[in-house]
Amino acid sequence: MTVTVDADLARRYTLLLVSDRRYLVKEMFGPTLQGEGAHAGRAVVFLRFAACNLDCPGCDTDFSPEGAVRMSAEEIVEKLRALDTGKTYRVVVTGGEPTLQWDAPLSAAVRGAGFRVHMESNGTRAPQGVVDWLTISPKPQHHPASIVLAENLPADEIKVVIDDTVDEAVLDKYAARWRCEHYFVQPWMDDRYERNLARTIALIHARPRWRLSVQIHKIVGVP
């Protein structure tokens, strides 16, 4: 015997079942463009969580809890639907450090609504919910002694932000640790940007498997 269930009713019931947790969201915005890495230039919407387990000098992202909002999985999904006016069904989940909050119930809600999830992580924790594309941007030079890079992360893309601490040996270590198709180096956009860009280009010539990533959203002026 086949039972027909209203799709919208089923979706809402599933959301009620999966979690009553409220997530600390710094901002959600879109439609915009992914500005970095293998999917640069793609239409996306963004879900940015508050809080990070690192404190990197020169970080250009405001992930402080001040001004953040507690949202349920259902509220997050509804906001993503409203933002995604072009029906891209692609959301970049970032932070701060998104693995501090991303879990199986939220993954089920977001992916169940049809969104492909691209996550950007510092690689210190494994995502506790399914993602469709995992970008790891390691910054162990800024780790406190209690934090190390997680083992066996299924990386789709490695993106290394270049400052004076990154050299060929560091890139070789990352390439050996994470086997994937996409390796990017990106100059840190701080007050030494020209120096960082020159260093980045030199590293690409020394290690040609690594490709240049620049923050095109800043260059073209989109969020």
Give residue-wise pLDDT tens across range 188-222. 988 899 999 999 999 999 999 999 999 999 889 88
- Domain span at residue 93? 7-157
Check residue 28 and give its pLDDT.
98
Q: Give a three-class secondary structure readout of 72-118.
A: EHHHHHHHHHHHCCCCCCEEEEECCCHHHCCEHHHHHHHHHCCCEEE
Residue 104 belongs to a domain: yes
CATH number at residue 143: 3.20.20.70
Residue 165 belongs to a domain: no
Residue 167 belongs to a domain: no
Residue 206 belongs to a domain: no
Residue 115 belongs to a domain: yes
In angstroms, rounded to a whole number, what is the distance separating the alpha carbons of residues 13 and 28?
24
Query: What's the structural domain count of the chain?
Result: 1
Check residue 190 and give its pLDDT.
86
In angstroms, rounded to a whole number, what is the distance separating the alpha carbons of residues 138 and 129?
20
Residue 214 belongs to a domain: no
Check residue 61 and give its pLDDT.
83
pLDDT string in tens for the chain (223-residue length): 333 435 554 454 444 445 589 999 999 999 999 999 999 999 999 999 999 999 888 787 888 889 999 999 999 999 999 999 999 999 999 999 999 999 999 999 999 999 999 999 999 999 999 999 999 999 999 999 999 999 999 999 999 999 999 999 999 999 999 999 999 999 998 889 999 999 999 999 999 999 999 999 988 988 8
Residue 197 belongs to a domain: no
Give me the active site residues, please: 46, 52, 56, 59-61, 120, 217
Check residue 8 and give its pLDDT.
55
Check residue 221 and give its pLDDT.
87
Q: Give a three-class secondary structure readout of the chain.
A: CCCCCCHHHHHHHHHHHHCCCEEEEEEEEEEEECCCHHHCCCEEEEEEECCCCCCCCCCCCCCCCCCCEEEEHHHHHHHHHHHCCCCCCEEEEECCCHHHCCEHHHHHHHHHCCCEEEEEECCCCCCECCCCEEEECCCHHHCCCCCCCCCCCCCCEEEEEECCCCCHHHHHHHHHHCCCCEEEEEECCCCCHHHHHHHHHHHHHHCCCCEECCCHHHHHCCC
pTM, to two decimals: 0.89
Residue 189 belongs to a domain: no
